[in-house]
Structure 1
Amino acid sequence: MSLDTIPEARRQIEICNACRYCEGYCAVFPAITRQKAFADGDITQLANLCHNCRGCYYACQYTEPHEFALNLPRALAEVRTESWEDFAVPAPLARVFQRHGVALAGLLVLAVAVMVLLARGGGRTFYDVIPHGVLVAIFLPAFLAPLAVIGVSLRRYWRKVGGGPVRLAHVVSAARSAGRMRNLDGGQGQGCNFEKEERFSNARRAMHQAVMWGFLLCFASTLSGTVLHYLGWPAPYGPFSVPKLFGVPGGLLLTLGAVGLAALKPKGDRGLGDPAVWGGEMAFVLLLALTGGSGLLLYAVTGTGLVAPVFALHLGAVMTLFLLMPYSKMVHGFFRFAALVRDAQGR
């Protein structure tokens, strides 16, 4: 962690703990009031519990030009980013992506797509382009290895924040908060101030939910298609098959949610987040949109001569999303869920 970010976040949190005006805004403030002193691990936990809705900033009487100069969303965002980087394996790769995400993601998508096109077979379905066995041999390690890296990062995080044995009740509580995006509702359901300053909006909350549920549906589509394949029903599947009933709504939700987040992001004040990683965050959102959109397009062009190039683009997006999971903002979902579980333990 930086020598500056933790002490500055601690200074601001101690002032917030004395004021307590924002107590009902999100899970951060009730967590603050449960303590009087804050170790480095406590600051890291609060930073990952923060959803950067920014409502506390616009409600605060101690922001600039007040001498306290509070900007808690930015202070926690900087600690949060550094925690992801410090716990990542290897940490330098996380720092590179956070600061050069658009270029890195774009080059990786292009490289994978070109390799697929060079190695492709003929045909008008994606298994004609690359056989199922080859896809499994390539993508299974590319999916499992990043998950293993994330597991190591979460273990480091859990030790840092003093997490104890996890019970089912803790996981259920965290799942409820994550599923409803409760910490983006402004405390009273009116939404947050991310993109409209002092006006409340649920747009960011809705877009986050669309991305989350869209991603889960797409994963369920892939899983169900794999099961059907090994049961003797290979792709392509009809419009009313299980993979399509999961995949088409999932792709639409993922694409629309990611495009919505990309449109909202420039409307937010960069000074209320970590400006150094703005590009990396935008790259991640655009990568999600490309993954969902190219999947839908692939379904639309099945049976035509466009299958090979669209399939190559889709594989490039999916492979890049998987490989960069431990280093892109994709990892925030894992850390935030862990923070919610840790928060449930402290109640």
Structure 2
Amino acid sequence: MTPQDKIAILQHLIQIQSVNANETAVADYIASLFAPYPQAEIVKVPFAPGRDNLVVTIGDPTGPMLGLSGHMDVVAAGDAAAWHHDPFGGEVVGDQLFGRGASDMKSGLAAIVITMLELLEAQTPLAGSIRLLATVGEETGEYGAATLTDAGYADSLAGLVIAEPSGLNNVVYTARGVIDYKVVSTGKASHSARPENGVNAITNLMKFYNAVGPLMAKHTQVDPVLGGLLHNVDLISGGEQINSIPAHAELMANMRTIPAYPNQVIYDELAALIAQLNQEDGVQLDLSYSYPEEAIPGDPQAPLVQLAKQISDQVCGHDTQVIGSGGANDGAEFLRAKGEFTSIELGPGNDSSHQVDEYVSVTEYLQAITVYEALVPAFFAQVAATVGE
């Protein structure tokens, strides 16, 4: 496959507008690339209408399995007029390829797809199998990865590489978790001139707001790589008009967790606070969560971590750093699978993710394919050597 062919695949992926939906169109396109190879096992795994995950497996099923994962959804482009390049055009200017998802993470997705296609095209003997795990809904909750994990598609993995935009000069081995929660306060409306006839939902909601900050601040342990627990109330709404006691108010908060504080610890504390406040007269607070994810623990000396660093050093000619990530990724779901394996992030991309004029370096994108094509056989050799010890 020529470099231009590889660029064209990425451009086609960017031109599919899979903004928080429509991933089936991406899955169908990727499946069509594998269709000429009967040895490739292709399975679409539905999450919702128009939202199919894609699993493609190649290689020797008697050997270890390496997972290569990327998500097919992208965030919204926002105001298209603010872009200097069509957000769904895939325009190339110099060494930069522009478009929504160019960095996060259709370049990584394209790179792992092309890696598998080139191994098939060259009829490269593999001492194991490779499984593409292309997911829906990563940007809004990792529910595609959850669907695949629950269906058992990650149970046989010996290792997992997620092609998120770490930049090829970084291997991410640990990541924060996330908890998004909502608290709804239900009161009773009345005229503001007769507040004794109502129950102020905002006042009751503020009781929670004033208590939850100090409660979360008690978690003072700091991870040497990820830092401390983060808690932010980011959305508050309530009331209908200025002269009415509000019957409804709600807040939403985002937490970034660390391995020292498993999510269940936070759930228990928030539930206890809600229960305590609901004992007060007139207080009715309800707590709910949206797709929480555990923090990903890791070992910087794990064999896959060090192997990925070594290969990236060799291919790219730099000193690859082994780091942690402040953002959650699909690995948090895949690690729920049966068996134990190391999950890393290594992929092309940069800090333009989710921004206007998002782009990826064409050079880095093509280098990523070279990195993955070197990593696959090296991983199988590494596993074989470990088994033989």
Whether these two folds match at TM > 0.5 is no
Q: Name the one with the larger helix percent.
A: 1
* Rg larger for: 2
Q: TM-score, normalised by structure 2?
A: 0.22
Q: Which fold has the larger relative contact order, with Cα–Cα distance below 8 Å and residues 6 or more apart in sequence?
A: 1
Q: Name the one with the larger strand percent.
A: 2
